[in-house]
Amino acid sequence: MSTVEKVGAGAGTYVDQRLGSNRFLKRSLSKVFPDHWSFMLGEIALYSFIVILLTGTYLTLFYKPSMVEVIYQGSYVPLKGIAMSEAYASSLDISFDVRGGLLLRQMHHWAALIFVAAVSVHLLRIFFTGAFRKPREFNWIIGVVLLTLALGAGFSGYSLPDDLLSGTGLQIARGIVQAIPIIGTWGAFLLFGGQFPGDDFISRIYSVHILLIPGLILALVTVHLMMVWVQKHTQFPGPGRTNNNVVGYPLMPVYMAKAGGFFFIVFGIIALLGGLVSINPIWIFGPYTPDQVSAGSQPDWYIGWLDGMLRTMPNWETAVGGITISWNVFIPAVVLPGLIFTAMALYPFLEAWVTGDKREHHLLDRPRNAPVRTAIGVMSLTFYMLLWIGGANDIIATTFDLSINAITWFLRVALFVLPPLAFVFTKRVCLGLQRKDRDKLLHGYESGRILRLPHGEFVEVHEPLDVKERAIIESRLMTDHAPLPMPASVDAAGVANKHYRVKRLQAKLSRVWYADQIPAPTMAEIEEGQHHAAHGALSEAPLHAHADALENVPFHGGVLHTPGEEKTNQEQLNDRGGHL
Partner 1 sequence: MTDVNTHEHSDHPVTSGRLPVADVPHKPRRTDVDPKAARRAERQVAGMFTLSVLFVILFVVAYVAIPKDANVYIPVLGLVGAMNLALGVTMGAAVFLIGAGAIQWAKKLMPDVEVVQERHELASEPADTAEAVDQYERGKEESGFAGYKIIRRSLLGALALFPIPLIVLLRDLWVQPTDTPNPQAELETTIWRKGSRIVVDGSYAPVKASDLPVGGLISAVPENMMEVQEEEHTLNARGKAAILVVRMQPDEIRSQQGENWDYQGILAYSKICTHVGCPISLYEQRTHHLLCPCHQSTFDLADSGNVIFGPAARRMPQLPIGVDEEGYLVALADFAEPVGPSFWERG
When asked if residue 279 is in the footprint of partner 1 (CB under 8 A), the reply is: no
**Is residue 197 reached through a cis peptide bond, with omega within 30 degrees of 0 on the bond before it?**
yes
DSSP, collapsed to helix, strand or coil, labels residue 463 as strand
In angstroms, what is the minimal distance from the CB of 150 to partner 1? 23
Of residues 356-395, which lie at the interface with partner 1 (CB under 8 A)? 359-360, 362, 393-394
In 101-234, DSSP assigns E strands to none
Size of the site for partner 1 (CB under 8 A): 133
Q: Is 480 in the site for partner 1 (CB under 8 A)?
A: yes
Is residue 53 involved in binding partner 1 (CB under 8 A)?
Answer: no
Residue 398 within binding range of partner 1, rule CB under 8 A: no
User: Which position among 10, 281, 290, 338 is part of the footprint of partner 1 (CB under 8 A)?
Assistant: 290
3-state secondary structure of 85: strand
Give whichever of 239 and 420 is closer to partner 1, judged by the CB atom.
239
User: In this complex, which beta carbon is closest to partner 1, that of residue 53 or of residue 293?
Assistant: 293
CB of 545 to partner 1, least distance (A): 32
Interface pick for partner 1 out of 194, 420, 432, 554 (rule CB under 8 A): 194
Which one among 242, 497, 552, 569 touches partner 1, defined by CB under 8 A? Answer: 242
Of 259 and 453, which CB lies nearer to partner 1 in the complex structure? 259
Q: Degrees (nearest 5) of the Cα angle 246, 252, 255?
A: 60
Do 447 and 559 meet the contact criterion of CB atoms below 8 Å apart? no
Contact assessment for residue 71 and residue 82, using Cβ atoms and an 8 Å cutoff: yes
Nearest distance, CB of residue 38 and partner 1, angstroms: 17
Sign of CA dihedral 482, 488, 489, 491: negative
CA distance 38 to 36: 5
Rule CB under 8 A: choose which of 8, 10, 193, 338 binds partner 1.
Answer: 193
Q: Does 253 bind partner 1 (CB under 8 A)?
A: yes
Question: Counting contacts by CB under 8 A, is residue 529 touching partner 1?
Answer: no
Quote the DSSP letter at residue 460: E
Residue 209 and residue 65: Cα distance in Å, rounded? 11
Structure letter (DSSP) for residue 31: -
Q: Please compute Rg for the chain using Cα positions.
A: 31
Q: Please report, for residues 49, 214, 260, the alpha-carbon distance to residue 227 in angstroms, rounded to integers and kept in the order given.
A: 19, 20, 20
197 binds partner 1 (CB under 8 A): yes
**Toward partner 1, which CB reaches closer, 120 or 479?**
479
CB 244 → partner 1: shortest distance, Å? 5
The whole-angstrom separation of Cα 465 and Cα 472 is 10
**Nearest distance from C-beta of residue 525 to partner 1, angstroms:** 11
Do 263 and 58 touch, CB atoms closer than 8 A?
Answer: no
| 402 or 502: CB nearest partner 1 | 402
Contact by Cβ (8 Å): 156, 281: no
The 3 state secondary structure assigned to 414-459 is HHHHHHHHHHHHHHHHHHHHHHHHHHHHHHCEEEEEEEECCCCCEE
Closer residue to partner 1 in complex, CB, 200/491: 200
Q: How far is CA 502 from CA 64, 345, 398, 405, 489, in A?
A: 57, 22, 51, 44, 11
109 interacts with partner 1 by CB under 8 A: no
267 binds partner 1 (CB under 8 A): yes
Q: Segment contacting partner 1 (CB under 8 A): 215-223, 245-253, 337-345, 430-438?
A: 245-253
Does 266 interact with partner 1 (rule: CB under 8 A)? yes
Among 160, 176, 518, 538, binds partner 1 (CB under 8 A): 176
Residues between 122 and 161 with contacts to partner 1, criterion CB under 8 A: 135
Among 13, 28, 75, 574, binds partner 1 (CB under 8 A): 75
257 lies in the binding site for partner 1 (CB under 8 A): yes
Query: Site for partner 1 (CB under 8 A): which residue of 53, 191, 431, 534?
Result: 191
User: Least distance from C-beta 368 to partner 1, angstroms?
Assistant: 17
Which residue type occupies 21?
S
Cβ distance to partner 1 smaller for residue 259 or 381: 259
The least CB distance from residue 500 to partner 1, in Å, is: 26
**Out of 100, 215, 338, 485, which residue is the one contacting partner 1 (CB under 8 A)?**
100
User: Coil, strand or helix: which one is 496?
Assistant: strand
Residue 322 found at the interface with partner 1 (CB under 8 A): yes
The C-alpha atoms of residue 308 and residue 330 are separated, in whole angstroms, by: 14
Stretch that binds partner 1, among 139-147, 273-281, 373-381, 453-461 (CB under 8 A): 273-281
Residue 466 sits in the site that holds partner 1 (CB under 8 A)? yes
- Residue whose CB is less far from partner 1, 362 or 451: 362
Whose CA is closest to 134, among 227, 222, 226?
227
Site for partner 1 in 533-562 (CB under 8 A): none
* d(C-alpha 367, C-alpha 437), whole Å: 13
Select from 570, 498, 495, 578 the least CA-distant residue to 539. Answer: 578
Our finding on whether 281 is near partner 1 (CB under 8 A) is: no
Among 12, 152, 175, 304, binds partner 1 (CB under 8 A): 175
Site for partner 1 in 400-459 (CB under 8 A): 404-405, 408
| CA count, 13 A, side-chain hemisphere, 318 | 8
Options 186, 229, 416, 500; binder of partner 1; rule CB under 8 A: 186
Dihedral sign for Cα atoms in the order 519, 524, 527, 531:
negative
If binding is defined by CB under 8 A, does position 181 make contact with partner 1?
A: yes
Question: C-beta of 255: minimal distance to partner 1 in Å?
Answer: 8
Q: What is the largest CA-CA distance in the chain?
A: 99
With beta carbons less than 8 A apart as the criterion, state whether 313 and 105 touch: no
Using CB under 8 A, which of 316, 350, 450, 488 touches partner 1? 316
Least separation in angstroms between residue 553's CB and partner 1 is: 25
Cα separation, 455 vs 84, whole angstroms: 91
Q: Which of residues 294-313 bind partner 1 (CB under 8 A)?
A: 294-297, 307, 310-313
Could you please report the per-residue DSSP string of 540-571?
HHHHSHHHHHHH-GGGTT-EE--TT----HHH
